[in-house]
Amino acid sequence: MKRKIIEIDEEKCTGCGLCIPDCPEGALQIIDGKARLVSDLFCDGLGACVGTCPEGAICVVEREAGPYDERAVMARIVPQGEAVIKAHLEHLLGHGEEGLYRQAIEYLNENNIPVPEHRVAETEPAACPGTVAQSLLGKEAAETEPAACPGTVARSILAKEATEAERAARIESALRQWPIQLTLVNPAAGYFDDADLLVSGDCVPFAYPEFHRDFLRGKIVLVFCPKLDADVAGYVTKLAEIFSRHTIRSITVMHMEVPCCGGVRYVVDEALKRAGKEIPVSEYTVTLQGEVVEGSRVRRRGPGGGLNAARHAGSP
């Protein structure tokens, strides 16, 4: 059958092992110094491991693969203990996979294995991992480390009360060109000449309300999703062509704190290498509470927990 499944670029993989904790199904192992997919049966294709790779070596592809077997995965997970079972159940719920979740619970019940306490989604799960409903409650609630894929765990966010002056103030659109999706733009377009470029993850403008005023003004913008878009390798090629054809004065990279968005910076870096260009790059991370942090800051599950700093950009 043809389905979504992860693919690992062996040339890029350094064998660091950061992806292993983010695969509760146990589909990944370090073998001969490289991360390997040990069996199609254990990979659900949801890509929880994608954003944890600092080299951008993991992506989700669609290919012929054996069907994912939830019962086989549970048989593999159970001996690893309650914490791994809990992480797997939350991983399934976080991605809206209620059918697989029910199979996992049935397996536990049939084998007289206690179902561990775990976080249950409060809202109707969305079909697409990037659109799972989240409510942000503010700093205290949001900074607790999720056990499943950080980019898809359902959360509640309580918006700050705007003042009357803030409600009255209108932020004008700073958009200077169309289209804005990287997949649609023409690399030869004249608006790239002497441009300050803003390369952003799709979700950033929704999380950061002052996006137009603080970052888009005076820039040409390109947006894409490094996790869900099909041809990320093609984005590297297209960006490299833009860099080669035009004089780009500066690049601002913006992405969300969730790991699946960290690939935005990777695409820019690879395109610069391919084009043989040195262009000043500034990088900003947007938190789920709508705050901006300079540099790369992504939320990952791992032995250390918390927010792990990754590649930091230079000054513009």
> Which domains are present in the chain?
1-120+145-156 (3.30.70.20), 172-309 (3.40.50)
**What residues are paired with 308 via a beta bridge?**
298
Apex 252 CA angle, 246 and 258, nearest 5: 130
Residue 69 reports pLDDT greater than 90: no
Q: 275 pairs with which residues across the strands?
A: none
pLDDT over 50 (residue 23)? yes
Pairing of strands 292-294, 281-286: antiparallel
Taking only the tens place, the pLDDT of each residue in 183-240 is 888 898 888 999 999 999 999 999 998 899 899 999 999 999 988 887 888 899 999 9
- The residue among 23, 60, 17 whose CA lies nearest residue 35 is 17
Q: What secondary structure letter does DSSP report for 192?
A: G
pLDDT tens digits for 140-161? Answer: 333 444 444 555 454 544 555 6
